[in-house]
Structure 1
Protein backbone atom coordinates (compact mmCIF):
# COMPACT_ATOMS: atom_id res chain seq x y z
CA UNK A 1 0.00 0.00 0.00
CA UNK A 2 1.39 3.42 -0.97
CA UNK A 3 1.36 5.90 1.91
CA UNK A 4 1.90 9.04 -0.13
CA UNK A 5 -1.76 10.05 0.02
CA UNK A 6 -1.71 9.95 3.81
CA UNK A 7 0.86 12.70 4.23
CA UNK A 8 -1.70 15.35 3.29
CA UNK A 9 -4.84 13.37 3.99
CA UNK A 10 -6.84 16.04 5.82
CA UNK A 11 -6.27 18.76 3.20
CA UNK A 12 -8.75 17.32 0.71
CA UNK A 13 -11.28 16.10 3.26
CA UNK A 14 -13.39 18.87 4.85
CA UNK A 15 -14.88 16.40 7.34
CA UNK A 16 -11.55 16.34 9.16
CA UNK A 17 -12.18 20.00 10.04
CA UNK A 18 -15.91 19.65 10.79
CA UNK A 19 -15.96 20.70 14.44
CA UNK A 20 -19.49 19.53 15.27
CA UNK A 21 -19.00 16.13 13.62
CA UNK A 22 -15.63 15.53 15.32
CA UNK A 23 -16.99 16.61 18.70
CA UNK A 24 -19.97 14.27 18.36
CA UNK A 25 -17.58 11.38 17.78
CA UNK A 26 -15.52 12.41 20.81
CA UNK A 27 -18.64 12.46 23.00
CA UNK A 28 -19.41 8.87 21.99
CA UNK A 29 -15.83 7.86 22.77
CA UNK A 30 -16.06 9.40 26.24
CA UNK A 31 -19.41 7.71 26.90
CA UNK A 32 -18.08 4.29 25.90
CA UNK A 33 -14.77 4.60 27.72
CA UNK A 34 -16.58 5.81 30.84
CA UNK A 35 -18.53 2.56 30.90
CA UNK A 36 -15.26 0.65 31.00
CA UNK A 37 -13.04 2.89 33.11
CA UNK A 38 -15.42 4.77 35.38
CA UNK A 39 -13.77 7.54 37.39
CA UNK A 40 -10.32 6.40 36.24
CA UNK A 41 -10.97 8.09 32.91
CA UNK A 42 -10.63 11.53 34.53
CA UNK A 43 -6.93 10.96 35.20
CA UNK A 44 -6.20 8.67 32.26
CA UNK A 45 -3.34 9.19 29.87
CA UNK A 46 -4.96 8.67 26.45
CA UNK A 47 -3.35 7.99 23.08
CA UNK A 48 -5.28 8.86 19.91
CA UNK A 49 -3.83 6.97 16.95
CA UNK A 50 -4.66 8.76 13.70
CA UNK A 51 -5.66 12.07 15.28
CA UNK A 52 -5.61 14.03 11.98
CA UNK A 53 -6.51 17.69 12.64
CA UNK A 54 -6.78 17.21 16.40
CA UNK A 55 -10.41 18.23 16.85
CA UNK A 56 -11.33 14.99 18.61
CA UNK A 57 -8.35 15.40 20.93
CA UNK A 58 -9.51 18.88 21.90
CA UNK A 59 -12.99 17.58 22.65
CA UNK A 60 -11.62 14.73 24.76
CA UNK A 61 -9.39 17.02 26.82
CA UNK A 62 -11.90 18.06 29.55
CA UNK A 63 -12.81 14.44 30.31
CA UNK A 64 -9.33 12.87 30.66
CA UNK A 65 -5.98 13.49 32.28
CA UNK A 66 -4.08 14.03 29.03
CA UNK A 67 -4.36 13.27 25.34
CA UNK A 68 -1.49 12.51 22.99
CA UNK A 69 -2.47 12.43 19.33
CA UNK A 70 -0.31 10.88 16.62
CA UNK A 71 -0.78 11.10 12.85
CA UNK A 72 1.40 10.69 9.78
CA UNK A 73 -0.19 13.84 8.28
CA UNK A 74 2.37 16.39 9.47
CA UNK A 75 0.54 19.28 7.78
CA UNK A 76 -2.66 18.62 9.72
CA UNK A 77 -0.68 18.36 12.96
CA UNK A 78 1.09 21.66 12.26
CA UNK A 79 -2.21 23.45 11.58
CA UNK A 80 -3.71 22.06 14.78
CA UNK A 81 -0.75 23.16 16.87
CA UNK A 82 -0.77 26.64 15.28
CA UNK A 83 -4.37 27.31 16.30
CA UNK A 84 -3.56 26.54 19.95
CA UNK A 85 -4.35 23.44 21.98
CA UNK A 86 -5.60 22.76 25.50
CA UNK A 87 -2.79 22.41 28.03
CA UNK A 88 -3.29 18.66 28.39
CA UNK A 89 -3.22 17.91 24.63
CA UNK A 90 -0.07 17.04 22.69
CA UNK A 91 -0.10 16.32 18.95
CA UNK A 92 2.83 14.66 17.22
CA UNK A 93 3.63 13.68 13.65
CA UNK A 94 4.51 10.01 13.63
CA UNK A 95 3.90 6.52 12.32
CA UNK A 96 1.19 4.44 13.98
CA UNK A 97 3.13 1.29 13.11
CA UNK A 98 6.20 2.49 15.04
CA UNK A 99 4.99 4.53 18.01
CA UNK A 100 7.76 6.40 19.77
CA UNK A 101 6.52 5.68 23.29
CA UNK A 102 7.74 3.35 25.99
CA UNK A 103 5.96 0.09 26.74
CA UNK A 104 2.87 0.43 28.93
CA UNK A 105 2.77 4.22 28.64
CA UNK A 106 -1.00 4.78 28.33
CA UNK A 107 -4.16 3.95 30.24
CA UNK A 108 -6.37 4.14 27.15
CA UNK A 109 -6.10 4.43 23.40
CA UNK A 110 -8.36 5.40 20.53
CA UNK A 111 -8.17 3.83 17.09
CA UNK A 112 -11.21 5.05 15.20
CA UNK A 113 -11.54 4.32 11.46
CA UNK A 114 -7.77 4.04 11.14
CA UNK A 115 -6.89 0.38 10.63
CA UNK A 116 -7.79 0.33 6.92
CA UNK A 117 -5.29 3.08 6.12
CA UNK A 118 -2.06 1.43 7.30
CA UNK A 119 0.08 -0.99 5.26
CA UNK A 120 0.53 -3.44 8.14
CA UNK A 121 -2.50 -3.56 10.40
CA UNK A 122 -1.00 -6.29 12.60
CA UNK A 123 1.88 -3.95 13.46
CA UNK A 124 -0.59 -1.18 14.26
CA UNK A 125 -2.56 -3.36 16.67
CA UNK A 126 0.66 -4.74 18.13
CA UNK A 127 1.89 -1.22 18.84
CA UNK A 128 -1.37 -0.30 20.58
CA UNK A 129 -1.10 -3.44 22.69
CA UNK A 130 2.52 -2.62 23.54
CA UNK A 131 1.92 0.93 24.76
CA UNK A 132 -1.19 0.10 26.80
CA UNK A 133 -0.76 -0.71 30.46
CA UNK A 134 -2.14 -4.07 31.66
CA UNK A 135 -5.86 -3.53 32.06
CA UNK A 136 -5.73 -0.56 29.67
CA UNK A 137 -8.39 -0.25 26.99
CA UNK A 138 -8.65 0.83 23.37
CA UNK A 139 -11.75 2.32 21.77
CA UNK A 140 -11.72 0.59 18.39
CA UNK A 141 -14.16 1.71 15.68
CA UNK A 142 -13.88 -0.33 12.50
CA UNK A 143 -15.72 -0.47 9.19
CA UNK A 144 -16.57 -3.88 7.79
CA UNK A 145 -15.23 -4.82 4.36
CA UNK A 146 -18.61 -6.33 3.52
CA UNK A 147 -20.53 -3.10 4.11
CA UNK A 148 -22.65 -2.57 1.01
CA UNK A 149 -21.67 1.10 0.67
CA UNK A 150 -17.99 1.91 1.24
CA UNK A 151 -17.78 4.69 3.84
CA UNK A 152 -14.92 6.78 2.42
CA UNK A 153 -16.12 7.17 -1.14
CA UNK A 154 -19.81 6.27 -0.99
CA UNK A 155 -19.57 3.65 -3.74
CA UNK A 156 -21.57 0.41 -3.46
CA UNK A 157 -19.51 -2.78 -3.15
CA UNK A 158 -16.19 -0.93 -3.59
CA UNK A 159 -14.45 -2.65 -0.67
CA UNK A 160 -15.65 -6.06 -1.88
CA UNK A 161 -13.56 -5.87 -5.04
CA UNK A 162 -9.98 -7.00 -5.77
CA UNK A 163 -7.55 -4.08 -5.84
CA UNK A 164 -7.28 -3.85 -9.64
CA UNK A 165 -11.06 -3.71 -10.07
CA UNK A 166 -11.49 -1.31 -7.16
CA UNK A 167 -8.96 1.07 -8.73
CA UNK A 168 -10.82 0.96 -12.03
CA UNK A 169 -14.14 1.54 -10.28
CA UNK A 170 -12.68 4.62 -8.54
CA UNK A 171 -11.53 6.08 -11.85
CA UNK A 172 -14.83 5.40 -13.60
CA UNK A 173 -16.72 7.02 -10.73
CA UNK A 174 -14.44 10.06 -10.76
CA UNK A 175 -13.37 9.47 -7.16
CA UNK A 176 -9.62 9.27 -7.73
CA UNK A 177 -6.91 7.22 -9.37
CA UNK A 178 -6.66 4.46 -6.78
CA UNK A 179 -8.53 2.82 -3.92
CA UNK A 180 -6.04 2.88 -1.07
CA UNK A 181 -8.10 1.61 1.87
CA UNK A 182 -7.92 -2.06 2.83
CA UNK A 183 -10.86 -3.15 4.93
CA UNK A 184 -11.29 -6.45 6.74
CA UNK A 185 -14.41 -8.53 7.24
CA UNK A 186 -15.95 -9.36 10.61
CA UNK A 187 -14.07 -12.63 11.09
CA UNK A 188 -10.72 -11.11 10.10
CA UNK A 189 -11.27 -8.20 12.47
CA UNK A 190 -11.98 -10.56 15.35
CA UNK A 191 -8.77 -12.46 14.58
CA UNK A 192 -6.85 -9.19 14.36
CA UNK A 193 -7.72 -8.24 17.94
CA UNK A 194 -7.49 -11.75 19.38
CA UNK A 195 -4.70 -10.62 21.72
CA UNK A 196 -7.21 -8.47 23.64
CA UNK A 197 -10.34 -9.14 25.61
CA UNK A 198 -13.11 -7.64 23.45
CA UNK A 199 -16.30 -5.91 24.58
CA UNK A 200 -18.67 -5.23 21.69
CA UNK A 201 -20.52 -1.95 22.29
CA UNK A 202 -22.20 -1.92 18.88
CA UNK A 203 -25.35 -3.61 20.17
CA UNK A 204 -25.73 -1.47 23.32
CA UNK A 205 -25.26 1.69 21.24
CA UNK A 206 -27.93 0.53 18.79
CA UNK A 207 -30.30 -0.24 21.68
CA UNK A 208 -29.82 3.10 23.42
CA UNK A 209 -27.90 5.60 21.26
CA UNK A 210 -28.82 8.53 23.51
CA UNK A 211 -26.98 6.94 26.43
CA UNK A 212 -23.81 6.87 24.33
CA UNK A 213 -24.21 10.31 22.74
CA UNK A 214 -24.72 8.50 19.43
CA UNK A 215 -28.18 9.52 18.27
CA UNK A 216 -26.54 11.21 15.27
CA UNK A 217 -25.71 7.76 13.88
CA UNK A 218 -29.34 6.73 13.48
CA UNK A 219 -31.67 9.39 12.12
CA UNK A 220 -35.24 8.22 12.48
CA UNK A 221 -36.92 5.25 14.12
CA UNK A 222 -37.09 3.20 10.91
CA UNK A 223 -33.35 3.45 10.28
CA UNK A 224 -32.60 2.57 13.89
CA UNK A 225 -34.96 -0.42 13.84
CA UNK A 226 -33.44 -1.71 10.59
CA UNK A 227 -29.92 -1.34 12.00
CA UNK A 228 -30.80 -3.26 15.17
CA UNK A 229 -32.42 -6.02 13.11
CA UNK A 230 -29.41 -6.28 10.81
CA UNK A 231 -26.94 -6.37 13.68
CA UNK A 232 -28.88 -9.12 15.41
CA UNK A 233 -29.37 -11.40 12.41
CA UNK A 234 -26.61 -10.42 9.96
CA UNK A 235 -23.72 -9.27 12.12
CA UNK A 236 -20.96 -10.40 9.70
CA UNK A 237 -22.20 -7.91 7.07
CA UNK A 238 -23.09 -5.08 9.46
CA UNK A 239 -21.42 -1.86 8.18
CA UNK A 240 -19.18 -1.28 11.19
CA UNK A 241 -18.45 -1.99 14.82
CA UNK A 242 -17.45 -0.21 18.01
CA UNK A 243 -15.41 -2.42 20.31
CA UNK A 244 -13.40 -1.85 23.44
CA UNK A 245 -10.19 -3.84 23.47
CA UNK A 246 -8.72 -4.55 26.89
CA UNK A 247 -5.10 -5.51 27.35
CA UNK A 248 -5.22 -8.44 29.70
CA UNK A 249 -3.52 -8.09 33.06
CA UNK A 250 -1.14 -10.97 32.34
Structure 2
Protein backbone atom coordinates (compact mmCIF):
# COMPACT_ATOMS: atom_id res chain seq x y z
CA UNK A 1 0.00 0.00 0.00
CA UNK A 2 1.14 3.53 -0.83
CA UNK A 3 0.93 4.76 2.78
CA UNK A 4 3.30 2.16 4.22
CA UNK A 5 5.80 2.79 1.41
CA UNK A 6 5.79 6.55 1.95
CA UNK A 7 6.22 6.13 5.71
CA UNK A 8 8.94 3.55 5.17
CA UNK A 9 7.25 1.06 7.48
CA UNK A 10 9.23 -2.16 7.87
CA UNK A 11 8.96 -5.01 10.38
CA UNK A 12 10.51 -4.22 13.78
CA UNK A 13 10.77 -6.28 16.94
CA UNK A 14 8.35 -5.45 19.73
CA UNK A 15 5.47 -4.19 17.62
CA UNK A 16 4.10 -0.66 17.27
CA UNK A 17 0.86 1.24 17.81
CA UNK A 18 -0.97 2.93 14.94
CA UNK A 19 -3.87 5.39 15.03
CA UNK A 20 -6.11 6.20 12.09
CA UNK A 21 -8.09 9.42 12.50
CA UNK A 22 -11.30 9.40 10.49
CA UNK A 23 -11.37 5.71 9.60
CA UNK A 24 -14.56 5.84 7.50
CA UNK A 25 -15.34 2.35 6.22
CA UNK A 26 -12.48 0.86 8.25
CA UNK A 27 -10.58 -0.58 5.31
CA UNK A 28 -7.24 1.07 6.05
CA UNK A 29 -7.36 0.27 9.76
CA UNK A 30 -8.19 -3.34 8.96
CA UNK A 31 -5.37 -3.51 6.42
CA UNK A 32 -2.74 -2.42 8.90
CA UNK A 33 -4.20 -4.39 11.81
CA UNK A 34 -4.05 -7.61 9.81
CA UNK A 35 -0.77 -6.89 8.00
CA UNK A 36 1.22 -10.15 7.98
CA UNK A 37 4.60 -8.50 8.62
CA UNK A 38 4.27 -5.16 10.43
CA UNK A 39 2.90 -6.29 13.84
CA UNK A 40 0.77 -3.21 14.45
CA UNK A 41 -1.73 -2.64 17.24
CA UNK A 42 -4.36 -0.39 15.67
CA UNK A 43 -6.85 2.10 17.07
CA UNK A 44 -9.26 4.06 14.89
CA UNK A 45 -11.47 7.07 15.60
CA UNK A 46 -14.28 8.81 13.79
CA UNK A 47 -17.19 11.10 14.64
CA UNK A 48 -19.65 8.60 13.15
CA UNK A 49 -19.53 4.83 12.87
CA UNK A 50 -19.87 4.06 9.17
CA UNK A 51 -17.57 1.05 9.14
CA UNK A 52 -18.06 -1.84 6.77
CA UNK A 53 -14.93 -3.63 7.99
CA UNK A 54 -14.65 -3.95 11.77
CA UNK A 55 -12.21 -6.78 12.43
CA UNK A 56 -8.74 -6.54 13.92
CA UNK A 57 -8.68 -3.05 15.45
CA UNK A 58 -10.27 -0.99 18.23
CA UNK A 59 -12.78 1.70 17.28
CA UNK A 60 -13.53 4.84 19.32
CA UNK A 61 -16.30 7.27 18.45
CA UNK A 62 -15.26 10.86 19.18
CA UNK A 63 -16.70 14.36 19.15
CA UNK A 64 -14.73 17.15 17.57
CA UNK A 65 -10.97 17.10 17.18
CA UNK A 66 -9.89 15.99 20.67
CA UNK A 67 -8.33 12.52 20.77
CA UNK A 68 -9.09 10.19 23.72
CA UNK A 69 -5.49 9.04 24.20
CA UNK A 70 -2.57 9.92 26.42
CA UNK A 71 0.43 11.88 25.24
CA UNK A 72 3.11 9.99 23.28
CA UNK A 73 0.95 6.91 22.66
CA UNK A 74 1.39 6.12 18.97
CA UNK A 75 4.30 5.27 16.70
CA UNK A 76 2.27 5.97 13.55
CA UNK A 77 -0.69 8.28 12.96
CA UNK A 78 -2.74 8.48 9.76
CA UNK A 79 -4.87 11.48 8.82
CA UNK A 80 -6.10 10.71 5.33
CA UNK A 81 -8.43 13.37 3.88
CA UNK A 82 -9.75 14.34 7.31
CA UNK A 83 -8.51 17.84 8.14
CA UNK A 84 -10.70 19.49 5.52
CA UNK A 85 -13.78 18.16 7.33
CA UNK A 86 -12.99 19.11 10.94
CA UNK A 87 -13.99 22.79 10.71
CA UNK A 88 -12.37 26.16 10.22
CA UNK A 89 -8.73 27.11 10.81
CA UNK A 90 -8.92 26.86 14.62
CA UNK A 91 -10.25 23.31 14.46
CA UNK A 92 -7.75 22.34 11.76
CA UNK A 93 -4.89 23.64 13.90
CA UNK A 94 -6.21 21.72 16.91
CA UNK A 95 -6.39 18.56 14.80
CA UNK A 96 -2.68 18.91 14.03
CA UNK A 97 -1.83 19.75 17.63
CA UNK A 98 -3.62 16.61 18.82
CA UNK A 99 -1.65 14.50 16.35
CA UNK A 100 1.54 16.06 17.71
CA UNK A 101 0.45 15.35 21.28
CA UNK A 102 -0.31 11.64 20.85
CA UNK A 103 2.63 10.93 18.52
CA UNK A 104 5.77 9.51 20.08
CA UNK A 105 9.00 11.45 19.73
CA UNK A 106 10.35 9.03 17.12
CA UNK A 107 6.97 8.46 15.46
CA UNK A 108 5.69 9.51 12.04
CA UNK A 109 2.40 10.74 10.61
CA UNK A 110 0.91 10.42 7.13
CA UNK A 111 -1.17 13.49 6.30
CA UNK A 112 -3.19 13.81 3.07
CA UNK A 113 -5.20 16.94 2.28
CA UNK A 114 -7.06 18.00 -0.88
CA UNK A 115 -5.31 20.99 -2.43
CA UNK A 116 -7.40 24.15 -2.57
CA UNK A 117 -6.05 24.78 -6.09
CA UNK A 118 -7.17 21.43 -7.54
CA UNK A 119 -9.13 21.85 -10.75
CA UNK A 120 -12.03 19.57 -9.80
CA UNK A 121 -13.19 19.34 -6.19
CA UNK A 122 -13.31 15.59 -5.34
CA UNK A 123 -16.29 15.51 -2.97
CA UNK A 124 -18.77 17.24 -5.28
CA UNK A 125 -17.04 16.89 -8.67
CA UNK A 126 -17.32 20.58 -9.49
CA UNK A 127 -14.56 22.49 -11.26
CA UNK A 128 -13.00 25.41 -9.35
CA UNK A 129 -15.31 25.01 -6.33
CA UNK A 130 -12.53 25.39 -3.77
CA UNK A 131 -10.99 28.32 -5.68
CA UNK A 132 -13.96 30.52 -4.78
CA UNK A 133 -14.10 32.69 -1.66
CA UNK A 134 -15.65 30.81 1.25
CA UNK A 135 -18.78 33.01 1.10
CA UNK A 136 -19.51 31.87 -2.48
CA UNK A 137 -18.89 28.13 -2.28
CA UNK A 138 -22.29 27.00 -0.95
CA UNK A 139 -24.10 29.16 -3.51
CA UNK A 140 -22.05 27.49 -6.25
CA UNK A 141 -23.14 24.08 -4.93
CA UNK A 142 -26.77 25.10 -4.96
CA UNK A 143 -26.46 26.53 -8.48
CA UNK A 144 -25.50 23.07 -9.78
CA UNK A 145 -27.89 21.24 -7.42
CA UNK A 146 -25.02 19.41 -5.70
CA UNK A 147 -26.03 20.30 -2.16
CA UNK A 148 -26.94 23.11 0.18
CA UNK A 149 -23.76 23.73 2.17
CA UNK A 150 -20.09 23.22 1.37
CA UNK A 151 -18.72 21.69 4.54
CA UNK A 152 -15.08 21.27 3.46
CA UNK A 153 -12.16 23.64 3.98
CA UNK A 154 -9.35 22.58 1.59
CA UNK A 155 -5.92 24.08 2.13
CA UNK A 156 -3.27 25.57 -0.13
CA UNK A 157 0.25 24.30 0.37
CA UNK A 158 1.60 27.48 1.98
CA UNK A 159 -1.18 27.79 4.56
CA UNK A 160 -0.97 24.10 5.47
CA UNK A 161 2.78 24.33 5.97
CA UNK A 162 2.30 27.41 8.18
CA UNK A 163 0.00 25.35 10.42
CA UNK A 164 2.46 22.44 10.47
CA UNK A 165 5.18 24.81 11.66
CA UNK A 166 2.88 26.23 14.33
CA UNK A 167 2.03 22.69 15.52
CA UNK A 168 5.67 21.75 16.08
CA UNK A 169 6.25 19.45 13.12
CA UNK A 170 9.11 18.83 10.82
CA UNK A 171 7.53 17.87 7.52
CA UNK A 172 8.36 16.52 4.11
CA UNK A 173 6.14 17.08 1.10
CA UNK A 174 5.87 13.70 -0.68
CA UNK A 175 3.24 14.57 -3.31
CA UNK A 176 5.52 13.64 -6.21
CA UNK A 177 6.68 10.42 -4.54
CA UNK A 178 3.05 9.52 -3.77
CA UNK A 179 2.07 10.08 -7.39
CA UNK A 180 4.85 7.73 -8.48
CA UNK A 181 3.71 5.09 -6.00
CA UNK A 182 0.11 5.42 -7.19
CA UNK A 183 1.10 4.99 -10.84
CA UNK A 184 3.26 2.00 -9.90
CA UNK A 185 0.50 0.30 -7.88
CA UNK A 186 -2.52 1.08 -10.05
CA UNK A 187 -0.76 0.87 -13.43
CA UNK A 188 -3.28 3.00 -15.38
CA UNK A 189 -4.30 2.03 -18.89
CA UNK A 190 -5.15 4.09 -21.96
CA UNK A 191 -4.21 7.75 -21.89
CA UNK A 192 -3.44 7.47 -18.18
CA UNK A 193 -0.37 5.42 -19.02
CA UNK A 194 1.28 8.54 -20.42
CA UNK A 195 1.52 9.99 -16.91
CA UNK A 196 4.21 7.43 -16.13
CA UNK A 197 6.49 9.03 -18.73
CA UNK A 198 6.22 12.61 -17.48
CA UNK A 199 9.70 13.62 -16.23
CA UNK A 200 10.02 14.03 -12.47
CA UNK A 201 11.29 17.58 -12.99
CA UNK A 202 7.90 18.49 -14.49
CA UNK A 203 6.02 17.04 -11.50
CA UNK A 204 8.32 18.97 -9.16
CA UNK A 205 7.36 22.22 -10.87
CA UNK A 206 3.69 21.28 -10.55
CA UNK A 207 3.94 20.27 -6.87
CA UNK A 208 1.89 23.25 -5.52
CA UNK A 209 -0.99 22.33 -7.89
CA UNK A 210 -1.05 18.54 -7.43
CA UNK A 211 -4.66 17.72 -6.38
CA UNK A 212 -3.72 16.03 -3.09
CA UNK A 213 -1.12 17.45 -0.72
CA UNK A 214 0.67 14.59 1.04
CA UNK A 215 3.17 14.98 3.87
CA UNK A 216 5.19 12.82 6.19
CA UNK A 217 5.35 14.52 9.60
CA UNK A 218 7.70 14.07 12.52
CA UNK A 219 8.04 15.97 15.76
CA UNK A 220 10.63 18.71 15.73
CA UNK A 221 13.64 17.75 17.80
CA UNK A 222 14.64 20.37 20.38
CA UNK A 223 17.73 22.24 19.31
CA UNK A 224 20.75 21.83 21.55
CA UNK A 225 21.90 25.07 23.09
CA UNK A 226 25.50 25.94 22.23
CA UNK A 227 27.34 26.76 25.48
CA UNK A 228 28.94 30.19 25.74
CA UNK A 229 32.70 30.20 25.86
With the length of structure 1 as denominator, give the TM-score of the two structures. 0.76
Alignment of 1:154-169 (within 5 A): 154-169=125-140
Determine the C-alpha separation between the residues in 2 that align with 1:136 and 1:198.
Answer: 12
Which residue of the other structure, out of 85, 93, 101, is the alignment partner of 1:117? 85
Alignment correspondent of 2:61: 93
> Residue 199 in 1 paired to residue 167 in 2?
no
Alpha-carbon distance in structure 2 between the residues aligned to 1:134 and 1:214: 34
Deviations 1:195-225 (A, max 9, x none): 21212222223345466x4546997232344
Aligned-pair CA distance for 1:62: 2.5
Distance change in 2, residues 1:201/1:49 (3 Å): same
Q: Which residue pairs with 2:76 in the alignment?
A: 108
SS in structure 2 opposite 1:145? coil
Gaps of 5+ in 2: 223-229
Shift of 1:177: 0.5
Unaligned runs of at least 5 residues, structure 1 = 1-26
Among 112, 117, 136, the residue aligned to 1:146: 117
Number of positions where the alignment pairs a residue of Structure 1 with one of Structure 2: 214
Distance 1:244 1:214, change over 3 A: farther
Mapping for residues 210-225 of structure 1, pairs under 5 Å: 213=185, 215=187, 220-225=192-197
Q: Which has the larger radius of gyration?
A: 2
8 Å CA contact retained: 2:2, 2:181? no
- The corresponding residue for 2:141 is 170
Q: TM-score, normalised by structure 2?
A: 0.83
SS of aligned partner of 1:220: helix
> Superposed, which structure 2 residues align to 1:4-83 within 5 Å?
27-33=1-7, 35=8, 37-40=9-12, 43-63=15-35, 64-74=39-49, 76-77=50-51, 80-81=53-54
Q: Is the 8 A contact 1:218 1:224 kept in 2?
A: no
Distance 1:179 1:28, change over 3 A: same
Higher helix share: 1
Give the drift of 1:187. Answer: 0.4
Structure 2 residue matching 1:243: 3-state secondary structure: strand
Change (3 A) 1:233 1:241: same
CA root-mean-square deviation = 2.6
Q: Which moved more, 1:56-65 or 1:169-178?
A: 56-65
